[in-house]
A and B are shown apart, each in its own frame.
Chain A
Amino acid sequence: MRLMRVSAIAKKEGIQIIRDPYSLAMAFLMPVMLLFIFGYAITLDVDNLPTVVYDRDKSSTSRGLVAQFRESRYFTVVAYAEDHADIDRYIDRGRAKVAISIPEDFSKNMATGRDATIQVAVDGSDSNTATIALGYIAAISDLYSQRTCKALAAPAIDPRVRVWYNPELRSRNFIMPGLIAVVMAIIAALLSSLTISREWERGTMEQLISTPVKPHELIIGKLSAYFVIGFVDVLVAALIGIHLFDVPLKGSPLLLMMCSSLFLFGGLSLGIFISAAAKSQLLASQVSLITSYLPALLLSGFMFSISNMPAPLQLISHIVPARYFVAMLKSIYLKGGTLKLLIFETAALAVFGILTFMIANKKFRKRID
């Protein structure tokens, strides 16, 4: 391997990226945009659910219950209904997601220690939000009944639950680390998948393959240019996560960078392999989206827990490198994971990287046919 050739290619590639506004935007703007879109929009926490209240009891007890709901940050009372038809209207028009209807005998029942029922309607068209809302409603009602009738039955079991690693259960804390993996997967595959097919399309490859340059020199040269970009993106993502989204990094930044490098190596090699195989930019970008971005988004455990997937999908997820990277990122970010704990994932990423690099190297031919 001649270092001179590798560095000539890396330098050329770097200049081309910097001069091309589209490449530049894809390299630096897109990751930031993705981080913001995912970071702000995809929050699985349910806050400020618009709620309509139909209080037929109109007693201090019923108002106390409503106040309990209002005080929690989960519900915002948007209106008080005058009758049942009102509730229907609010839910139908989407102005409220939750309706709480308190019957006339609510305070009487509470006072006499009988079962006091309230009716709750939840807009189930968003099942995820509905499920979470129901949980909150049950919890708030329990809390209220415990407060108002302390003398009455205390629960037999009083679990003192402690949530580890993410005590506030902020979904952002677990989305953000995984998000870095998704962003990296896109950058790695999309950027690099165009690099060889572009040269075939523009005709520059014909000149290049008439020179003594070796396939691995060409690939390593191109890899290094995109590696620098990917590395900068990881840094930016980590900084945005820590400073903008308040996601703490418990583990070692060095380990984070090392794992990211390993993942980038594999992702970029995959992109270059696709590029070498496809010879057209359009095909290359589509294939790379399907083979890296979608699996990274859906099968990596970034948002959707792998253990909840059907068995065949769980099996497939084992060959998705993002799966290992997501596990590493979550561990490093939230648990302060160490290399010793992550040795299996590290090995998996290394094997994937070396294998794809070798396949890419084999696939790239210095011939036209």
Chain B
Amino acid sequence: MGSGREEKGPHGDIAVDIENLTRTFGDFVAVDHVSLTVKRGEIFGFLGPNGAGKSTTIKMLCGLLMPSGGSGSVGGYDIIRQSEEIKRTIGYMSQRFSLYDDLTVEENIDFFSGIYGVPAERKEKRKERVLEMAELRRRRTDLTRTLPGGIKQRLALGCAILHEPPIIFLDEPTSGVDPVSRRNFWDLIYGMSRAGTTTFVTTHYMDEAEYCDRLGLIYRGRLIALGAPAELKADHMKRDVIEIETDRTIEAMDALHAHNIESAIFGSSLHATVKDGDKAIPFIRGILGDARIEFRGVGKITPSLEDVFVNLIEEA
């Protein structure tokens, strides 16, 4: 590993560094000149709707897909020339469940232990840790296909980190998993991050984006924003978000629409995006009063990432 570290040289604290990374499929530009860096130990969230280019980017970083243009390094290794070195340094969990369905939990772990070359003396200990992490101690001889989705994802993560890689790439690890399992999964990611692991994770869940140290927003192959969640909210949200708490959300929405105020339903409340919040609040109260819609409150709120993202996409 000695020579590996020397190569990292000036990028000592940079885990992922890409410059103008581009990938085309025929005429379609899946990833369009994306540049970003991820620091060691960071949880970097790569956010965007389906088909935005998240998976394509992650596959190029893992050495699975050749870039059409641009350059980059992962763990100090060049993504074009040193993809095999990268594969020794990373753990990758693909979007599609990719363990062997017809193998038992334990057989899957043993298989990946063998593939990653985990030394025999450490094999059992790591296996037990993965079993514990995935809460599968008592189901170790069960066929993997019989496990519920959330547990499968935890096992897949466990198998991808058997060799204790310093950098892990997770491609939509929680898609199609129930909210409690998603929360548990993120606890695992936090745990690894505290232990110094760099995590590059893609998601389209906005609430998950809030858990990340830094975010990249990708839309139609282009990186449209980059920064910590709080920075993104401060820098990119130039309009105010007004929250209207009411039980009659749909009627309220129609009433506001009649006065050219666009809003969206967020659970039991309504979010309206306006130019100047202080002026809009009395105006909105008036509209609702005229329409005889009871409300519990109208007030300015800190925009959520979803508000930011919707706003950024409208501008893009």
Q: Give residues in A with beta carbon < 8 Å to B.
A: 2, 4-5, 7-9, 11-12, 15-16, 19-20, 202-204, 206-213, 366-369
Contacts and interface: CB of A to CB of B under 8 A. Distances in A.
B23 to A, nearest CB: 9
Contacts of A12: 100, 103, 107, 111
Interface residues of B, number: 32
A16 B64 CA distance: 25
Contacts of B96: 203, 206
A369 B63 CA distance: 11
B94 A9 contact: no
B62 A210 contact: yes
Contacts of B103: 12, 15-16
A210 B87 contact: yes
Contact of B100 (A2, A204, A209): A204
Interface centre among A19, A211, A213 (most CB of B within 10 A): A211
Interface centre among B64, B84, B96, B99 (most CB of A within 10 A): B64
A367 B64 CA distance: 5
B98 A207 contact: yes
Interface in B25-73: 59, 62-66
Given A2-B117, A204-B98, A210 B107 contact: no
Contacts of A8: 110-111, 113-115
Contacts of A19: 102
B116 to A, nearest CB: 6
Nearest to B159: A207
Given A5-B117, A212-B84, A369-B66, A11 B59 contact: no
A206 B87 CA distance: 12
B165 to A, nearest CB: 10
Nearest to A214: B84
A369 B84 CA distance: 16
A210 B111 contact: no
Interface in B67-124: 83-84, 87-88, 90, 92-94, 96-103, 107, 110-117
B115 A213 contact: yes
Given A5-B114, A5-B117, A212-B88, A367 B65 contact: yes
A203 B94 contact: yes
Contacts of B114: 4-5, 7-9, 11
Contacts of A202: 98, 101
Contacts of A203: 94, 96-98
A111 B66 CA distance: 94
| 5 A-B pairs with least C-beta separation | A8-B114, A207-B98, A210-B92, A203-B96, A212-B88
B159 to A, nearest CB: 8
A56 B155 CA distance: 88
Contacts of A208: 115
B170 to A, nearest CB: 12
Contacts of B99: 204, 207
B102 A207 contact: no
B62 A211 contact: no
Given A210-B64, A367-B64, A20 B88 contact: no
B65 A369 contact: yes
B314 to A, nearest CB: 33
A16 B103 CA distance: 7
Given A206-B64, A211-B116, A369-B65, A11 B90 contact: no
Interface in B109-150: 110-117
Nearest to B97: A203
Contacts of B113: 8
Interface centre among B59, B114, B117 (most CB of A within 10 A): B114
8 contacts: A9-B114, A19-B102, A204-B100, A208-B115, A212-B88, A366-B63, A367-B64, A367-B65
Contacts of B87: 210-212, 366
Given A203-B97, A210-B92, A212-B87, A11 B102 contact: no
Interface centre among B90, B101, B103, B115 (most CB of A within 10 A): B115
Contacts of B100: 12, 16, 204
Given A207-B93, A210-B92, 14 more contacts: A4-B117, A5-B114, A7-B114, A8-B113, A12-B103, A15-B107, A203-B94, A203-B96, A206-B94, A209-B64, A210-B94, A366-B64, A368-B65, A369-B65
